[in-house]
Amino acid sequence: MRPVNRGGIPKKEDGTDKVYTHYRQAKDDLIERLGSFCSYCEMNVENQTDVEHVSPKSKNPTLEKEWSSFY
């Protein structure tokens, strides 16, 4: 498994933290930070279909849109 270092919360143009109203909005920011790789098998994924969560959305719905829970 490749290490996940997503860094701090992405910023908007005005310097404030981005707020995601849906977790899929983080997809481009994650690709920019981590590249298009599967975090499990480390293969290049040209058509990344979804944002994965460190903690499952079903078990921790409060973290569904939190940058710290994405990879």
C-beta atoms surrounding 50 within 10 Å: 8
Would you say the pTM of this structure is higher than 0.75?
yes
Tens digits of per-residue pLDDT, 42-54?
778 877 667 888 8
Where in the chain are the domains? 1-47
Q: Which CA distances in Å does 36 have to 10, 16, 17, 56, 71?
A: 17, 26, 23, 21, 11
Model confidence at 11: pLDDT above 70: yes
Instruction: Tell me if 5 sits within 8 A of 52, measured CB to CB.
Output: no
Determine the pLDDT at residue 1.
60
